[in-house]
Structure 1
Amino acid sequence: MIKICKYLLLSLLLLSGQRVLSENITELPSLPPAQVLLLLSYEPLFPAADRIVTTVQRELSNNPQRDITLHVEFMDSDLQATPEYLKAYAQLLQAKQQQGERYDLVMVAGDGALKLVVAEGRKVLGQAPVVFVGVNDSELIRKLQGQGGYTGVYDALPVYEFMALMRYLYPGFQQLHVINDGLPRSALRMLQLQQAADSLNQKLVVHSLATLSWQQLADELSALRGEPLLLLSAYMDVHQQVKALRESNQFISHHAGSPVWSLSSSGIGDGLFGGVVSDLTDSAEQATGMALRILAGESPDRIAVNWHSANLTLIDARLAAQQGFDRASFPPKTQFINDQPGFWQNYRNLFLLLLSLTIFFTSVGLFIWSEIRRRKFSDQQLDDRTELIKNILDSIPDIIFYKDRRGTYVFCNKQFVSLMAKDPIGRTDFEVFDQETAEFFRAKDKEAVARKHVNINEEWVHSVDGGVMLLETQKTPIYDKRGRYIGVFGLSRDITELKKAQQNLEHIAHHDVLTGLPNRLSLNKKLEYALNMARRGGELLAVIFLDLDRFKDINDTIGHDIGDLLLKDVAHRLHNSVRDSDICARLGGDEFVVVLSRIDGEERIQEKCDQLLQVISQPYSLQGHLLSVFASAGISIYPQHGNSVDELIRNADAALHKAKELGRNRSFHYVRELTDSIHSRMSLEQDLRSALEAHNFMLSYQPQFRVGESVPRRVEALLRWPHPVRGMISPHDFIPLAETSGMIVELGYWILRTACQQFLFWRQQGLMLDKISVNVSPIQISSSFASTVAEIIQHLDFDPRWLELEVTESLMMSGTTEVSQQVCELRAMGVDFAIDDFGTGYSSLSKIKSMPVTVLKIDQSFVRDINDDVNDYEIVRAIVLMAKSLGLTVVAEGVENKEQESTLHRLGCEWVQGYYYAMPMDGEAFYQRYFAELQ
């Protein structure tokens, strides 16, 4: 708009000295230009954003039926599309609307932009029809279709096409490695990828930056060889270290031992090997075509949403050659980038130069010819054009003015006179404004002249109603044909409301929305500054980590509205109880942090902490509820408890947890022992290794009964670890440690050998059981598993039909060749397999029939509430019916009372185990109890 105004004003100034060449404005268009807003979720430098904007601009400019003005807004919300951010951005748009911008149609690109229109847009944009593109949230689109006024192109993530490409290039590959960062923006993509993998029985191995640092990720990727690797999202690691898009792509491709694939075109050709990506150019063309149809009068509700966007297979030809891939190994229609230039690439620039020269000289000739024609009519149309230009400038809502080289106003539009209540023509700033304002304006004029370029500044002025408004003024020096300075052109826009909206957005980014206190981001910055000051002054600094006791009970009993009011009051009390030099912040939930600086001594820290706890414990009167709430606090002190922000907050948090363990409503100073628990796991691993070498484990045995019988026919072997110092350690604590350390393999064979020996002893003593069940960890299933089990059985002269191995659903559903081969070998020997904790995994009932199992064990979580929860009852009933139809045995775990046994028997479950019958016991106790019953 500024360029148009400058052109029109220059034309007005030069009309008296020369004839203006114009023929296209002899007639005004019958319709005003259509106003179209293009709202993008991305930042301006994102490659997809540039592609969408360029395509939309090109397609709209090619429309011959009506002039269209395109407004482009970038939300930069790819990582922070929170409701608060969307609301604040909507206020920013509303402030711009107040400047006179109105839209006939809105095009949105990206999920965040569509969510903004859905959540806040109708308040700001009215009933303007909406056309979307690049939206991946199908549920949101289906929800909007029922509201009317929405249509567009769905950006389907090409996960199935990508899987097909991987199977084409990597026949028989076992698993697909995926890099993800766990941020909200990638959750939907990860869900779609997982659903595709499940439907194709494809195993995914996720390398998540939510749990890994960048260096740990590099170490894992460097070990990959010959397996496909997909980069889904990598922006921030577990330590919140951020890498930009290009830096992240190049880091991963540099450290990966296999080619890195992508579902986005960004990075392909700049480090990434290739991938299947959405054709955003085609989608943007289709969406723009829908927009033009709507602007032509067609209802958006009659234009169907395009659910099938086009895809492209992109490959970096240079990397493909380096990795040994031949072009013929890729599917047809594959597009290659970074390719060796052909004839056209070699001579394209020369051809374009010749074409440009031809066009240039042709244009010059046409220009001269048209110039002669236009001059014949310029004198007659001079007065009409002058009046037209003046009317156009007067219709612009911004202030427009022109001053000559002496600072005298030569021209201004009506908006200047309306807002200032003064006509400045023929006068200087000193005659129109007060002395201070006039001197400021004159200084900015000189600054623009000195820079010889546009100069932008903000200035406060008094309006006609006596109020104060903030103007954003752009001043541009004007020169004549000889390059001599002749004056200053200015354009001023009222940005008072816009500035307020920007300040509000900045406040939201650094403050907690509910309480107004600084948030975690602001706390880190303020605490870092306070630490630097403490280091410089040699002073103490304390971090007090506060957490309300049993705050969840208040939310659950009285409601979250009262809970929010309580948090506001707590924040207000804490803020009023500290000095201006201290810091008071809310981290989220019911967690607060107070930082005390410039402290005289450590005793002052405890006094202040006790005071804060006392302030919080005072009663609260909230909407008729009189509440009392207490808090616990953890304290860490600089420098003895840490030298960095993270260390001080982490140690204060550890002290807080200790205070809660001691009974709550108290404070606790950090001590070194709190972090020693980290070393406890290392110590436990060493003890586990020692116990394995010394065979310090023991087995307990829990019987399994047929309903109505008192003597068991089956038994399950359970591992126990009596630690000489820590006492009996739960398997839930040491089994995962054994799996991650690899000791589970040796331990598992010891369990199998010991259980089989005990079973043989019982039978030799006359206790004739039918089967013994032993749990097997997925880590144990290797290429030698079946042969090792066979050696143990043969060495003990143990009948394989007596042995039953319990495995997890996920192991049986993995479908890997190695697992299937090992299971089939054991099944051929006569060993049975059971699925443990059935119903808690992700297996499909329809696939059970293809599994080589004979027993399903119903997890005790379903049995526990079978008489109280109709869902648990129906699940158990479905499992029993399905198992019977497939000829499988069902064993119910965790039966604790007669009512559960009766219900299971009524449903047809014939085998049970649990505390109602017997607790796990050692081998001798088991023999003494049940052999006596046989006698």
Structure 2
Amino acid sequence: MTPPEDLQNIFDALPYPVFAKNSKHQWIYGNKAFDALIAVPDYIGKSDRDLFPADQVKVFWTEDRRVFGGEESINEEEIGPDVYALTRKVPYQLADGTTGLVGIIIASVTSTENFSNAKVNYEAEIEAARKRLALLHESSSQQALDLQNRLSVAEKKQHTAMEIAQTDSTTGLKNRLGFENALEASVRLSTNTAQRFGLAIVDVDHFKQINDRFGHAVGDHVLVTVAQRLTELPDVYAVARWGGDEFALLTELPMQDRDLMRASFNQALEYVFRPIRTPDRLIEISGSVGFAVYTEDAHDTGDLMRYADMALMTAKRRGRGMVQTFNQEIRDTLARRLKLARDLPDAITGRRIRPFYQPIMGTTDRKIQAVEALARWDHPELGPVSPEEFIAIAQESGLLSDLDTVILDTACREVGPWLKDRSITYLSVNASPMDIVGVDFAERFLASLEATGTNPEHICLEIVESAIVGNLEAAYRNLEHLSQAGVMIALDDYGTGFSNLRALLDLPLDKLKIDQSLIQSIGSNNKIADLMTSIMQLADTLQVNVVAEGIETKLQAAFVTSVGCHLMQGYLFSRPQSFDSLSKWLTANEIRAA
């Protein structure tokens, strides 16, 4: 990424370091001030992992992921040994359609200029002053008094430098560095006194919506207010802004059991997250808390932070606005998740995660028209693993694209004969949302089909709306390329969100798949009939076929047939089955398309 020459000159004239990264966390630009600050030659094209320790990389990427997700960020970051920078980052759409970020370093405390050498100089000056003061200790001469003044000034400068490096500029709280120092001090105290303490991570629920709706000034006011309220809580002795909309705090623990601790924190939650008044509105807020205890839950700071974060994630999954203490259930979940994450790469490359197939039936003739390939993992030790569980891990680990490729390849090879003899008319497969907007997704997808000898016209690619709303232009390029090659495109889970009708008109869709949550309401919600009729009218306008998912009863099958759905799938006909099982099922039922 190279700006035009005149813009480059403007950036280079700025006294503030400016840089840009792509979604792979690689630097793609830096102005002269950034070059001087980072002091690393040839950093363009390199990622954080090439230049920084793993713990620093984790901090960078936590903030970067927020920005890639569309949020702005302002945070203190350690960009070198004892080099701290106050950095503002904003999302930026790159030429290839992906989202990168642009950062500007507003202020820095630099080891080579202000901090590390200054600290050494201060300490050396202090030590030298102490020695000289000792020699003159018995004298009340003016020289000794001057030396004492110099000692006080040096100590004050050192303290000021440390305070700047450990303080969050927005809230005035400790930043990560300051909190980590407080946490280490608490561990030392606990080791010496056997006194336990608690660590909580507090998250402002739906903070991005507050920023988007009311603006960043109001968002900052919310953060400052929450920060102030957290510092007012009894027994809390250290509070930090951990990053974005998350806070971390340390609290003394009276001798009470976990139920009492949870009740106490719930009361604190009500105090901290009561409505916030601005000059022109009252803003309703809520928050979630994850809590862990040293040394009951963990015996080192890394595990303690991890367990509190796991408890916070559990609180969010269970509905937000609640306190969750770390417990054995979460510990077991974590151990299971870590094992699955360790075993997942080999399971993908070894093709132990295999496609199962669910028939897609015609509504009028009740014959099988197609199959959808769905990933299934039978773990050798843990048994069948829920797709929701291992797909989430694959997505977090960056392995979802590899998993999709293996499932596509295996499915094409297995059902290829059915496609050729027209036992089924098409194979339906899924792709990860990240892939849909990837630069070369369409080319890679078609290459996989070619490698298996599969006609693109026999493939239907299912996408979800969330895959396209963030980058409609990139999604359109890929889907249009695939459509031109003959691949059918289906919008999956239709009816679960607020669909972008403009996107529906623009995308080369062939099918709408009605989400099973709507189907399950048939017979219990009188408005479903009107809604289904509206969907069918929309489908006629778009000239696409409609597939009803989640058909479990004859009533549901009869209803979707009556409103004009073309295809349906669900447990009424068959659960997802292995290739061998489905082959026997087809033979037994004699309901092939041909």
TM-score (normalizing by structure 2): 0.51
* Pairing partner for 2:533 from 867, 877, 898: 877
Deviation string for 1:248-288 (max 9, x for gaps)? 8x43389x997658xxxxx9xx669xxxxxxxxxxxxxxxx
2: CA distance between counterparts of 1:652 and 1:832? 42
2:171 counterpart residue number: none
Deviation string for 1:335-374 (max 9, x for gaps)? xxxxxxxxxxxxxxxxxxxxxxxxxxxxxxxxxxxxxxxx
- Aligned CA distance change for structure 1 residues 911 and 544 (closer, same or farther; 3 Å): same
Residue 251 of structure 1 aligns to a residue whose secondary structure is strand
**1:541 lines up with 2:161 in the alignment:** no
Shift, 1:648, TM fit? 10
1:396-475 correspondence to structure 2 within 5 Å: none
Checking the alignment, whether the CA contact within 8 Å between 1:228 and 1:259 is kept in structure 2 is no
2: CA distance between counterparts of 1:228 and 1:583? 37
2:431 counterpart residue number: 776
Shift, 1:698, TM fit? 1.7
Checking the alignment, whether the CA contact within 8 Å between 1:804 and 1:833 is kept in structure 2 is yes
2: CA distance between counterparts of 1:905 and 1:856? 15
Deviation string for 1:316-351 (max 9, x for gaps)? xxxxxxxxxxxxxxxxxxxxxxxxxxxxxxxxxxxx
1:386-405 correspondence to structure 2 within 5 Å: none
* Pairing partner for 2:506 from 850, 864, 872: 850
Shift, 1:827, TM fit? 1.4
2:133 counterpart residue number: none
Shift, 1:777, TM fit? 1.3
Shift, 1:722, TM fit? 0.8
Checking the alignment, whether the CA contact within 8 Å between 2:74 and 2:89 is kept in structure 1 is no
Shift, 1:848, TM fit? 1.2
1:760 counterpart residue number: 416
**1:252 lines up with 2:60 in the alignment:** no
- Aligned CA distance change for structure 1 residues 260 and 708 (closer, same or farther; 3 Å): same
Shift, 1:772, TM fit? 1.2
* Pairing partner for 2:341 from 685, 701, 726: 685
Deviation string for 1:688-723 (max 9, x for gaps)? 111122111221111111224332112111110111
Checking the alignment, whether the CA contact within 8 Å between 2:345 and 2:399 is kept in structure 1 is yes
2:355 counterpart residue number: 699
Checking the alignment, whether the CA contact within 8 Å between 1:636 and 1:670 is kept in structure 2 is no
- Aligned CA distance change for structure 1 residues 849 and 800 (closer, same or farther; 3 Å): same
**1:730 lines up with 2:386 in the alignment:** yes
1: CA distance between counterparts of 2:456 and 2:69? 42
Structure with greater Cα Rg: 1
1:792 counterpart residue number: 448
Residue 541 of structure 1 aligns to a residue whose secondary structure is coil
The letter for the 1-side match of 2:433 is: P
The letter for the 2-side match of 1:890 is: V
* Pairing partner for 2:253 from 592, 595, 599: 595
Checking the alignment, whether the CA contact within 8 Å between 1:809 and 1:835 is kept in structure 2 is yes
1:415-814 correspondence to structure 2 within 5 Å: 539-542=193-196, 595-596=253-254, 609=257, 642=299, 647=304, 675=331, 678=334, 680-763=336-419, 768-781=423-436, 782-814=438-470
Deviation string for 1:558-615 (max 9, x for gaps)? xxxxxxxxxxxxxxxxxxxxxxxx9799xxxxxxx9934xxxxxxxx7xx759989x9
Shift, 1:759, TM fit? 2.1
* Comparing 857-866 and 674-683, the one that deviates more: 674-683
Q: Using CA pairs below 8 Å that are at least 6 residues apart, which structure has the higher relative contact order?
A: 2
2:543 counterpart residue number: 887
- Aligned CA distance change for structure 1 residues 534 and 844 (closer, same or farther; 3 Å): closer
User: Which ranges in structure 2 are unaligned for 5 or more consecutive residues?
Assistant: 1-6, 11-19, 24-54, 78-83, 93-99, 109-178, 200-233, 238-250, 265-290, 315-324
Q: What is the aligned-residue RMSD (CA, Å)?
A: 5.4
2:481 counterpart residue number: 825
The letter for the 1-side match of 2:195 is: L
- Aligned CA distance change for structure 1 residues 674 and 771 (closer, same or farther; 3 Å): closer
1:205 counterpart residue number: none
Residue 895 of structure 1 aligns to a residue whose secondary structure is coil
**1:910 lines up with 2:544 in the alignment:** no
1:191 counterpart residue number: none
| Count of aligned residue pairs for this structure pair | 373
User: Which ranges in structure 1 are unaligned for 5 or more consecutive residues?
Assistant: 1-165, 170-174, 179-212, 238-246, 262-266, 273-523, 546-581, 586-592, 597-604, 617-633, 658-667
Shift, 1:811, TM fit? 2.9
2: CA distance between counterparts of 1:677 and 1:885? 47
2: CA distance between counterparts of 1:230 and 1:746? 25
- Aligned CA distance change for structure 1 residues 916 and 540 (closer, same or farther; 3 Å): same
Residue 546 of structure 2 aligns to a residue whose secondary structure is strand
Checking the alignment, whether the CA contact within 8 Å between 2:510 and 2:545 is kept in structure 1 is yes
Checking the alignment, whether the CA contact within 8 Å between 1:636 and 1:648 is kept in structure 2 is no
Residue 252 of structure 1 aligns to a residue whose secondary structure is strand
Checking the alignment, whether the CA contact within 8 Å between 1:812 and 1:851 is kept in structure 2 is no
- Aligned CA distance change for structure 1 residues 702 and 595 (closer, same or farther; 3 Å): same
2: CA distance between counterparts of 1:827 and 1:773? 14
TM-score (normalizing by structure 1): 0.34
